[in-house]
Amino acid sequence: MTVRRLAATTSLGLTIVAGHDDVDLSISWAHAIELQDPTRWLAGGELVMTTGLHLPRSATKQYEYVERIAQTGAVALAFDTGTVHERVPDAIIKAGDELGFAVLSVAKETPFIAISRAVIDELTADQIRTVQAVVDAQEKLARALLDGVPALITALGRAVHAAVCVLDRDGAVLALTEGASSSLPERIRERSGKERSRIVVDDDGHLAIHRLAVSGTLAVASEAALDQSERLLVGHTVSLLTIELAKPLRVVDAEQRLRLAVTTMVRQAGGDVDESLLRYFGFESETTVVATALTDVGPLLAATDITSAALEEESVPYLLAPLTDGTGVWFVVKSEVAEKVTRSVYARVRENSRRSINGGIGGVRPMSGVAASLREAVSAAKVGQVEGHTLVPFSELGTFSLLLSVQSSDVLQSIAASGLGVLEGYDAENGSRLVDSIEAFLHHNGQWESAAAQLGVHRHTLRNRMDKAAELIGRDLDSAHTRSELWIALKARELLQAESNSDHARPPLR
């Protein structure tokens, strides 16, 4: 109930006579009081009603009377015009206008009890509407859970206008609302305590952390504190999550869990998997298949759901599981449909996750060779990351990319350091760009003009840089062997940089 809405109730005979620009404040209560200084009895939000029985005669005192009431946080003054005063005093009106405080003239035939009842009735109706809104929102949350935990978290985030994150018992991300800061999970881990729930207020805003009874944490990050209705919705979500995560295995999605187990067995045991299990998912031990790896997919629970949904839309047999290092997911389809299905699934997962994911397609293998196809897919996905987050078939990898993509980070670091370490150290100390210059020079096949143009320098400047680089590494840059080694080192550095920029999703489901 706002001042404007109350004044619009024609049966009450109320007229706004001052503070016309401040009539959209909500009224928390209607309070009749005749004291000259009622401030100790006011808490803020009230509509103060008075007959002016003890109103001072002095215009200055009348002004101060209104000023004191306004300073308490009251929203308006309703002044009776039939009992003591025939009209609202000018000083009262002046104070209301100057202080931005609404003043209402009350018709002489309107008893204060009628105003109080109108306010109380509306407050009661507001409470009923609020309760109904909470109930409706709770039903939406329950329906959202039918589509999984990520859908539930998305629905809660929309309902409370905040970022929401769910972590498992190990602190890995189970679900995270779209648009949430990538640093939120780490903030939750740092701020979590032993308490059942806690509220943290810092420079990043408010963070409500709730431990789930089964295991894990639900956290809500908002700019301001949540109101009572929003807190009720968070509590309801905690209950839903607790029930969902505590379900026995038989009431969870058994088929997807079985699919994950079979996928893992196929990777580990190759053709030594029970034929009946393969047939259940549409494969035979003689089936030729292709493995595809998707990385930088975000939280694994959501990524697995999105990838599964995309594969279901293709209506083809498939196997699906998270990558063992927790960086993404991988799936297997029959070789005859792999080209079309893989590209379609990649595009759909990229669109639905709204992430620039990387993809790699392995070679065609019998079911016993799935592990080899997967290794190829992971290697190709690394190259896809370097080449701008794309889907790359292993068969299309160049020689350098092929050799480097199968190496560990330690090996890549050694390759990059052996070729570029001295130059990078010199650049760091002197603010030079020797490494960039070598990369441009090699990229343009030793064409001075083109390389210099890319760097935005004169070709003589580039020649001086190359001479300095040759001096530092003690190698002849005109040698094809030297150029090849430097190019390999540059490619190794690219792969390392791509790995360091990669988001790490949750560990694989076990």
User: Which pLDDT belongs to residue 116?
Assistant: 92
Q: Residue 241 in 3-state DSSP?
A: helix
* 388 domain-assigned: yes
Cα–Cα dist 226/18, whole Å: 34
Residues 301 and 383 in one domain: yes
Tokens at 49, concatenated: 């009603």
**Helical axes 480-500 vs 434-443, angle rounded to 10°:** 110
Cα–Cα dist 396/380, whole Å: 9
pLDDT along the chain (510 residues), means of 10: 90 91 89 91 92 92 94 94 91 94 93 92 84 84 84 92 88 87 89 80 90 83 89 90 68 75 88 84 90 91 90 88 90 94 93 89 89 85 77 72 53 68 83 85 81 86 86 81 75 62 37
* DSSP for 127-195, written as a single string: HHHHHHHHHHHHHHHHHHGGG-HHHHHHHHHHHHTSEEEEE-TTS-EEEE-TT--TTHHHHHHHH--SS
* 132 domain-assigned: no
The sign of the torsion formed by the CA atoms of 31, 37, 43, 48 equals positive
Domain that holds residue 447: 409-500
* 505 domain-assigned: no
Burial of 251 (C-beta count, 10 Å sphere; 0-12/13-18/19+): exposed
Cα–Cα dist 76/58, whole Å: 21
* Structural domain count of the chain: 4
Tell me which of 360, 382, 405 is where a domain ends. 405
Pairing of strands 328-334, 288-295: antiparallel
Stated pTM of the model: 0.41
What is the domain-level CATH number for residue 88? 3.40.1390.20
Cα–Cα dist 264/270, whole Å: 10
What's the 3-state SS for 54-70?
A: CCCCCHHHHHHHHHHHH
Residue with tokens 């190759």: 270
Residues 413 and 494 in one domain: yes
Tell me which of 362, 379, 405 is where a domain ends. 405
Element of type H or E holding 210: strand 205-211
User: Which pLDDT belongs to residue 433?
Assistant: 87
Calculate the CA 142 to chain-centre distance: 21
* 222 domain-assigned: yes
Pairing of strands 163-167, 102-106: unpaired
* 133 domain-assigned: no
Residues 166 and 209 in one domain: yes
Residues 300 and 356 in one domain: yes
What is the domain-level CATH number for residue 378? 3.30.70.120
